[in-house]
Structure 1
Amino acid sequence: MKIKAAVLHAMGKERPYNISNPLLIEEVELKKPQASEVLVKIRAAGLCHSDLSVIDGNRPRQVPMVLGHEAAGEVVELGPGVKGLAVGDHVVFSFVPVCGHCKHCTIARPALCENGVAANNKGLLLSGESRLENQQHQEIFHHMGVSGFAEYAVVSRQSIVAIDKTLPYDIAALFGCAVMTGVGAVINTAKIRLGETALVTGLGGVGFSALLGALAAGASKVIVADVNKEKLQKALELGAHVAIDTTEENALEKLRDLTDGGVDVGLEFAGVVPALEFTYNATARGGRTVTAGLPHPSKTMQLAPVKLVAEERTLQGSYIGSCIPSRDIPAYIALYQSGRLPVNKLLTHKLRLDEINEGFERLAKGEAIRQILTFDASSADAVSSRMNSDVLQASL
């Protein structure tokens, strides 16, 4: 079938992206789902920094590629052998397909699924094949097994989780990356305990989700750190106890004074080494630092092993929030529906597919938290539902 999709042909184009247009809206061919695959009509997809990192070349991927890994949609066709789903089901995508039988899957660490990660690195589905091609019948690669910036997607059964049909698609999409990664980093990776103090560095969609997750988990004090004053103010409105501008003089000393020597848990989502170093140094003796940021592969940080050992610190990575998607996505949705995880407040813009480059320029400038592409609203509805300003609004 022929579909419209946002295709990246070359990484590293100059900004502004609304002028250079790194993503081209093209008509591509989407093949039918094969064994253990599903055809999904995309209803909503989020613009994430991980997509931006492919566009700007910080996370090199094969091109041409249909981007987008945070999405929600409706099942329209099942391939042979698919179980546990029906046509009409609503689903959220997980950007690591879970094979279920590699050594990491068998010990309940699907974020490290060897076959899923290998397929993602090659730009293919779990089957090792692509279902996308251009009009010249040349292969187009999949992004993280999802390729959600399109009208439809064929994905592995292991890349989707069925959800409550009453959940709006634009909210549901957030659970595929921002919420799963941010809340999962707090609960699954850091294993924050009731009454502990936490620092969240880097206030994108994932960082804000981590803030809400830390509050829901019972942290006694949650401090946020960023360089964007509007985002710091937004974090305070969402419940953060203290906001720190890391560009201010003595920001680290101020934080340590506020927490009697440092926080129990530091969580970093900015994706730049100075932010990770700030977060690590802001933890107390015995503190735990968790990072889900993804700087360019060439970037490194300096670490004094004596401090790591003598102060019993930990530094740990977190990928997809160390989640088991089939367990955690429904659990986090239930938290949202109970009012304890108000992730709807993270939505700042709704876009049409042809506005996607404008959206990524806005994201690169730090003027959005979560922007959502919608595929089932009229053009007028999509435009009217957006914020009237590119600056974050306190009333959101």
Structure 2
Amino acid sequence: MTIRAAVLREAASPRPYGDSRPLHIESVQLASPAAHEIRVRIAAAGLCHSDLSVIDGNRPRPLPMVLGHEAAGEVIEVGAGVRDLTVGDHVVFSFVPTCGHCAPCRDARPALCEPGAAANGAGELLGGGRRLRDSHDAALHHHLGVSGFAEEVVVSRQSVVRVDNALPFEIGALFGCAVMTGVGAVVNTARVRLGESVLIAGLGGIGFAALLGALASGASQVIVADVSAHKLQQALALGAHAAVNSGDADAVEQVRALTRGGADVGLECAGVVAALDFTWRATRRGGRTVTVGLPHPSQMLSISPVQLVAEERTLQGSYLGSCVPARDIPAYVALYQSGRLPVDKLLTHRLALDEINEGFERLARGEAIRQVILF
């Protein structure tokens, strides 16, 4: 079948992206689902920094590729062996397909699924191979097992989670990355406890989701840090207790003064090594620093092992929010539906597929929290 999709053929195009147009809207051939795969009509797909990092070359991926990994849609076909989904079910995508059998999966850490990571790195589906071909019959790679910037997709059954059909698609899409990653980093990785102070550095979609998650978790003090005065004001409007411009020379001292020595938990959500260094230094003795950002692989962080030991500090990464998607996505949706996790406030722009390059330029300029393409 023929669909329209956004294809990236070359990374590191010059900005502005509205002029260079790195993503090409093409007619693409989509194969039928193989065993244990499904076909989904995409209804909404979010623009995320993880997509932008492929476009700008900071996250090398095999090209050409149909981008997009944060999406929601409706099941329209199921392959052989799929017995727990039916046509008409609504699903949210998870950007790490999980085999259920490798050591991390057996240890309830599906974000680290080894076959899932290998498939994502190769630009293939979990079952192997690709289901997308361009108009010249050349294969196209999948992005993180999803490739959600398309009218329809074929994915592994293990790349989706069924959700309440009453959930609006444009809201449901946010749970596949921004919410799962940001809230999960708070709840699963940092394990924020009632009454703790939390610093969130970097206010993109994930940082704002982490803010909502920290408030929902009962943090007594949530401090946000960013170089954008506008985003700091937005965060205060969403409930942050204090805001610090991380570009200030005394930004670390400001956080320490607000928290009497440093935050109990520091969350770095910017994907910039300088932001992680700032977050580490602004976390207290005995505190926990968690990073969810993905800077270029060549960038390195320098810390003192003596400080790590003598202050009993913890520095930990968080991928996919350390989530079990089948467990956590429905739980976070329920929190949203109860009014305790207002993720709808993260949605700032609604776009058509043809506006995708302008959307990524807006994201690169830091002028949006979450933008969603509606199909």
TM-score with structure 2 setting the length: 1.00
Whole-Å Cα distance in 2 between the matches of residues 14 and 24 of structure 1? 15
Partners of 1:231 and 1:336 in 2: CA distance: 22
Residue in 2 aligned with 1:118?
118
SS at match of 1:289: strand
The code of the aligned residue for 1:186 comes to V
In structure 1, the partner of 2:271 is 271
Measured after TM superposition, the shift of residue 119 of structure 1 is: 0.1
Q: C-alpha deviations, 1:237-279, integer Å up to 9, x for none?
A: 0000000001123111111011100000000010000000000
CA distance in 1: counterparts of 2:82 and 2:129, whole angstroms: 17
**Structure 1 residue identity aligned to 2:207:** G
Counterparts of 1:160-309 in structure 2 under 5 Å?
160-309=160-309
User: How far, CA to CA, are the matches of 2:339 and 2:201 in structure 1?
Assistant: 24
2:69 is aligned with 1:77: no
Q: Distance in 1 between matches of 2:136 and 2:252?
A: 55
Q: Partners in 2 of 1:369 and 1:229 — Cα distance?
A: 14
Alpha-carbon offset, residue 137 of structure 1: 1.1
Question: What amino acid is aligned across from residue 88 of structure 1 in structure 2?
Answer: G
CA distance in 1, matches of 2:24, 2:67: 11
CA distance in 2, matches of 1:255, 1:217: 20
Q: 2:93 is matched with which residue?
A: 93
- State how far apart, in whole Å, the 2-side matches of 1:254 and 1:141 are: 46
What is the Cα deviation at residue 150 of structure 1? 0.3
What residue in structure 2 maps to residue 369 of structure 1? 369
SS where residue 181 of structure 2 aligns?
A: helix
For residues 189-217 of structure 1, what are the alpha-carbon distances to aligned partners after superposition, in whole Å with 9 as ceiling and x for unaligned? 00010000000000000000000000000
* SS of residue matched to 1:264: strand
Quote the offset at 1:67 in angstroms: 0.1
Shift of residue 3 of structure 1? Answer: 0.2
> What secondary structure sits across from 1:41 in the alignment?
strand
Q: Does 1:9 align with 2:9?
A: yes
* Further displaced range: 90-99 or 248-257: 248-257
Q: Tell me the secondary structure at the aligned position of residue 207 of structure 1.
A: helix
Letter aligned with residue 317 of structure 2? G
SS in 1 for 2:253: helix
Q: Distance in 1 between matches of 2:131 and 2:62?
A: 15
Letter of the 1:191 partner, please give it: R
Corresponding residue of 2:34? 34
Opposite residue 142 of structure 1, the aligned amino acid is H
Residue by residue, what CA displacement relative to the aligned partner does 1:261-307 show, whole Å, maximum 9, x if unpaired? 00000000100000000001101110000000000000001010000
Q: Using the alignment, how far apart are the partners of 2:258 and 2:236 within structure 1?
A: 16
Distance 1:237 1:24 in 2: 37
Tell me the SS of whatever aligns to 2:103.
coil
CA distance in 1, matches of 2:250, 2:180: 33
Q: Structure 2: how far apart are the matches of 1:136 and 1:285?
A: 59
1:218-253 CA distance string (max 9 Å, x none): 000000000011110000000000000011231111
Q: Which runs of 5+ in 1 are unaligned?
A: 376-396
Match of 1:131 in 2: 131
Q: Deviations over 1:59-95 (max 9, x none)?
A: 0001110000000000000000012101000000000
Which residue identity does 1:46 align to in structure 2?
G
Number of aligned residues: 375
1:148 is the counterpart of 2:148:
yes
SS at match of 1:166: coil
Q: What's the secondary structure of 2:40's corresponding residue?
A: strand
What is the alpha-carbon distance in structure 1 between the residues aligned to residue 268 and residue 84 of structure 2? 36
> CA RMSD for the aligned pairs?
0.4
- Helix, strand or coil for the counterpart of 1:29? strand
Structure 1 stretches of at least 4 aligned residues deviating more than 4 Å after TM superposition:
none
Tell me how far apart the structure 2 counterparts of residues 298 and 71 of structure 1 sit (CA, whole Å): 29
In structure 2, list runs of 5 or more residues that go unmatched: none
